[in-house]
Structure 1
Amino acid sequence: MIASGSQDLELTWRPVHQGDAAALFMLWQRIEEHDDPPYRSTREELDESFVTQWTDLTENSIAGFDSTGRLCAFGLVSVPPDDAGPVRVFLDGGVCPDHRHRGVGSAILEWQIERARGVLTETGNGSGTIVVHVEDGMDHSADLVRRYGFSEAGYHTEMRRDLALELPEVAVLRPLSVEPWTMELDDQIRLAHNEAFGSHAQAQSATVWTEGRTYFVPEWSFLVLDRTTDRAQVAGYLLASKYEQDWETLGWSEGYVDMLGVRAPWRGRRIATTLLVRAMRAFAESGMEYAALGVDHATRQDSLGLFDKLGFEPTRGSTTYTIEV
């Protein structure tokens, strides 16, 4: 636990409790209003995080309260449930704007790193990766994590495509067919996703796969099925959501592509292009102004290939910083 007097503005520290949800959401709002990121979090997302992401809060969270009892800072350490492969520990946190530049953020980060190392030790082998994401433009946060030994390990770019522009005509050939998402095929989509990304992403269990769908739009989500055999196989998939809470900040409405993948045996058949175009038509039919998606890449110079060709343009980004333990 963070000790009193360690440049913590005399904050009182304890773990985050379930009962702190309202206060934590208010803190999120104050931070987002000040930093003005191109998104806004909702109470539903916070409540969902309590259930799906933030496990063992007693050991893996910390919250700082001022003398009036107001929540002013927090830090979280989490491991994705059912994560397979090398262990990754994720750090999240924030400090109220009127408590910044006084050592509070540093104190939280020190605690998080120490706790993350403890989590890795508890996994049995003591090795893994400590991960933190920093939005572009948050130079103070980037400087802070670098001072504590984090190095750049990857990049994320958000992109949008104007739906007023003409969409190309594209289609898949038989025996492939583009079909709407259905709940009956959802677990097959999960297995296809795990296969499509292989070692490039953590495999998702059935439990994790169905979490985080508050804003999922089935009518905007599509599959490419191969009906060569009696049991149709998922060759590709696109899952999309509607994050209306972000639109006022962004300045436009959009359909957002959460997941897009094609299994290896079916690559090279324009399946990803076909799925994107079909989804963009659905977005446009629903009155959306833009299509949007996020792309992870290993270097800042990586080509954004398909998305460039379809008219997507970068809007913002973030950097992943890691410590290998």
Structure 2
Amino acid sequence: MITTDDDAAPRLPLAPIAERAAPPATLPAVTAGGLAWRPAERSDAPALLALKNAVAEADREPYRETLAEVTELFDAPWRRLATDSLLGFDAAGDLRAYGYVDSMPGDTRIVRAFLFGAVHPQLRGRGIGRELFAWQVARARQVLAASGKEVPGRLAVFVEDDKPAAALRLYERAGFTPRRYYAELERDLRDGAPLPDVTLDGGLRLVPIADEHDEPARLAHNDAFRDHWGSQPMTREQWRTGRSTFAPEWSFVVVDPDPDVAALLADPATDADSAAALRRGEPFVVGYHVAARYTEDFAVRGYPFGYTEILGVRRAYRGRRIAVALLAAAMRAFAADGMHRAGLDVDTQNPSGAHGLYASLGYVKSHGSHLRTIEL
């Protein structure tokens, strides 16, 4: 059988994931810098926050995190920080480095392990990052091998485009190569440029997001992103985890109150979960805009902004200006709340043409990042 990935040409038959991942029997020791190492615990959240923000400030990143955001790392039920994380403390007991490996329970077409970590700027150049990253890569290989998912595998690390050169060399030496590029876009909400007025057709209704839309929006998301590179289905627990920045007052959905159930059920592209929801007569979300409020970033950037966390339209409903209607509603909500700009992040090779849509609405690039991977 020829195995394919959602972002690649057909591959030759794959060896078992336990072989492809080449997991080491034991993990390499981390001894550089004289730090004391142990797994992360929930009580470490304040120290981890201080370290992450110190790194962000030193690297001039336009982001800062909150205690709630860091605490959420420990709340996800699928994370195994007892085995998949390391924290390094100096002799005074101060946290000076961290690293962890994250894998998603919903991965089906490709199984992924993401690597996150950093060393305090004052301790860089002592080999700590090199040894810690080697530990992460080794642990990531173990995680992939243990998944038992006989699909393509991927080790991945997200990198800001202006990351220090030493970090880039570290990734390159470990075999990680650039795989995908992302652009953070912003749109000035005070420049007087009009926002489009969109009248949706076919009885579609744009409404503020509510609790009843939560699961229907997840199903819409899984359908909308099924043809996006690297995207995998989100389980209920993934969808509901990490909402400390969620801004419901800026979030909207488009609902089809009278979907053509027979046609959708007959369409082979309709996934099983959506089909079951249609049969049950549940609200049918066909487009969604989920917003976030990153208050800690306002001072760093010098202005308040609203952020489009995720935006999507079911594939069967594309071409009906649903995304434009959602973005326009969100930008109006941002502006009404005193935000100066609207922001979002986009894959520069997005297959739905989103980049062109955002440009037509006045969004321009403000920052960039990319994904480096080892493909297995």
- For the superposition of Structure 1 and Structure 2, which TM-score range results when normalised by the shorter chain? over 0.9
Structure 1 residue aligned with 2:173: 147
1:111-260 → structure 2 map (5 Å cutoff): 111-124=135-148, 128-138=153-163, 139-164=165-190, 165-200=193-228, 201-229=231-259, 232-260=283-311
- Name the aligned partner's letter for residue 173 of structure 1: D
Is the Cα contact below 8 Å between 1:218 and 1:240 reproduced in 2?
Answer: yes
Is the Cα contact below 8 Å between 1:158 and 1:317 reproduced in 2?
Answer: yes
- Name the aligned partner's letter for residue 132 of structure 2: I
**Which stretch of the first structure deviates more once superposed, 57-66 or 87-96?**
57-66
- Equivalent residue of 1:304, what SS? helix
Q: What is the root-mean-square deviation of aligned Cα atoms in Å?
A: 2.0
2-structure distance, mates of 1:103, 1:53: 33
- Name the aligned partner's letter for residue 184 of structure 2: E
Structure 2 residue aligned with 1:294: 345
Give deviations 1:231-263, integer Å, cap 9, x for gaps. 653221111121111111011111111111111
Q: Report the Cα offset of residue 88 of structure 1.
A: 0.3
Change (3 A) 1:227 1:247: same
1:12-161 → structure 2 map (5 Å cutoff): 12-52=36-76, 55-124=79-148, 128-138=153-163, 139-161=165-187
2-structure distance, mates of 1:264, 1:284: 29
Give aligned-pair identity as a percent: 42
Q: Report the Cα offset of residue 18 of structure 1.
A: 2.6
Q: Report the Cα offset of residue 73 of structure 1.
A: 0.9
Is the Cα contact below 8 Å between 1:90 and 1:132 reproduced in 2?
Answer: yes
**Which stretch of the first structure deviates more once superposed, 13-22 or 90-99?**
13-22
Give deviations 1:43-78, integer Å, cap 9, x for gaps. 100100111277222221112222222211111011
- Name the aligned partner's letter for residue 360 of structure 2: K
2-structure distance, mates of 1:69, 1:231: 53
Is the Cα contact below 8 Å between 1:53 and 1:81 reproduced in 2?
Answer: no
Structure 1 residue aligned with 2:355: 304
Q: Report the Cα offset of residue 298 of structure 1.
A: 3.9
TM-score of the two chains, using structure 2 as the length reference: 0.80
Give deviations 1:18-47, integer Å, cap 9, x for gaps. 332222222123212222210101110010
Q: Report the Cα offset of residue 282 of structure 1.
A: 1.0
Q: Report the Cα offset of residue 171 of structure 1.
A: 2.3
1-structure distance, mates of 2:125, 2:139: 23
**Which stretch of the first structure deviates more once superposed, 19-28 or 241-250?**
19-28
Greater percentage in strand: 1
Give deviations 1:263-299, integer Å, cap 9, x for gaps. 1221111111111111111111111111111101349
Is the Cα contact below 8 Å between 2:28 and 2:138 reproduced in 1?
Answer: no
- Equivalent residue of 1:171, what SS? coil
- Equivalent residue of 1:3, what SS? coil
Unaligned runs of 5+ in 1: none
Name the count of aligned residue pairs: 321
Change (3 A) 1:232 1:57: closer
Unaligned runs of 5+ in 2: 1-26, 260-280
- Name the aligned partner's letter for residue 182 of structure 1: A
1-structure distance, mates of 2:53, 2:207: 39
Structure 1 residue aligned with 2:278: none
Change (3 A) 1:160 1:53: farther
- Name the aligned partner's letter for residue 140 of structure 2: A
- Name the aligned partner's letter for residue 310 of structure 2: M
2-structure distance, mates of 1:140, 1:258: 30
- Equivalent residue of 1:98, what SS? helix
**Which stretch of the first structure deviates more once superposed, 139-148 or 51-60?**
51-60
1-structure distance, mates of 2:149, 2:346: 32
Change (3 A) 1:24 1:54: farther
